[in-house]
Amino acid sequence: MRSWQVYGVNDMRLEDIPIPEARPGWALARVRAFQPSITEVQRFWGTSQRGQDKMRQTIQEKGPYAMGHEVCADVVAVDERSGFRVGDRVAYSHAAPGMVSGDDYPGCFAEYVLLPIPSLFKVDASIPDVECPALQPLASCVHDVEEARIELHETVVVFGQGVMGLNMAQLCRRAGAERVIGVDVRDQCLAVSRELGVDVQVNAGQQDPVAAIRDLTNGRGADVAFDCASGSPEVGLSGGKTLFQAIEAVRIGGRLIQIAFHHQPVLFDPNQLRAKRIKYIFPGEGTGETMALTSRLVASGKVQLKPYITHVLSGVEKLPDAMEITGHKASHGAINPAVVIVA
């Protein structure tokens, strides 16, 4: 099979390697489609130190390996006592602790991938292949919104209306929030936010988002804030700016959920959180039930993925192009990572 083998930072080669052998507790699957996550792009390019040491150690101890975890695949070999059968179309989620695809074991940037059974979920037949890789980040968002415990009367603000922010905004509406505010600096993202029914859009490049949120809440602040925009400015993210804005924008006693990973340490005074009695939440990962719910939400049309998916490439050899688009979304007019159709 063909597989993109990572030898180091900015060194990835498309090679012919043996198809993995199925083993107990794992399923061998033929990859139909994948997409690179921005986290993987940053790690590979070296623009983020998160995961760099582990990547180097893995290469040193085990040799080059494939990255990738956002995937749509067909099961070709599995112990059917697992609940899966040959021919099942599956997606992946980080539900097996310490067993992350493309990190702890070879990932899906290949024509075949071996995945642990607890990380798999069956995909509803109505969901097209091109949308399936986006189910993994959506599954994480489902769990995050569950942990945020949204209530019917609450105003929620989502900083960042990229793929994670749009996921969060849609899910918060489905969870019953009275009002959802989407904040971004890209008109394209805000237009999609509006299309998907997010109640209010704030362009942070044209107005102070904290002042706008206070005006919208009669000076009280949002009940819940999601930071989905922090990260490396080199790939169009906010650094730590949106974290500080979220702290200011959330009400006394409110909740702040950190979704984005910071590209470097961010210095802030924790007394700011204490003074406002803000609950600063770092969500974990979901369960098999979370994954099943994710598939149902998309299949029923209650959450839409299609409006985000702007770039679709054909052939496993197109991964470098997909990473370039994903790493520089604004310059390419992309919202979701570029999807690669493999088979």
Q: What is the pLDDT of residues 133-159, one digit of tens each?
A: 999 999 999 989 999 999 999 999 999
Count CB neighbours of 195 within 10 A: 11
215 phi and psi, to 5 degrees? -60, -40
Query: What integer is the mean pLDDT of 256-282?
Result: 86
Q: Flag the least confident range among 46-50, 79-83, 177-181, 319-323.
A: 46-50
> What's the chain's average pLDDT?
92
Run of H or E including 104:
none
Cβ-count burial 174-186 (b if 16+ within 10 Å, e if not): ebebebbbbbbbb
pLDDT one-digit tens code per residue, 28-70 = 999 999 999 988 998 899 887 777 888 888 898 899 999 999 9
Query: What integer is the mean pLDDT of 255-265?
Result: 84
Domains contained in the chain, CATH given: 2-122+310-341 (3.90.180.10), 140-281 (3.40.50.720)
Query: Sorting pLDDT into bands at 50, 70 and 90, what band is 270?
Result: confident
DSSP three-state, residue 221: coil
Query: What integer is the mean pLDDT of 244-261?
Result: 94
pTM for this one? 0.91
What pLDDT is stored for residue 91 in this prediction?
A: 95
What pLDDT is stored for residue 39 in this prediction?
A: 87
Secondary structure of 252-280 in HEC code, one letter for each residue:
EEEEEEECCCCCCCCCCCHHHHHHHCCEE
What pLDDT is stored for residue 321 in this prediction?
A: 98
What pLDDT is stored for residue 234 in this prediction?
A: 66
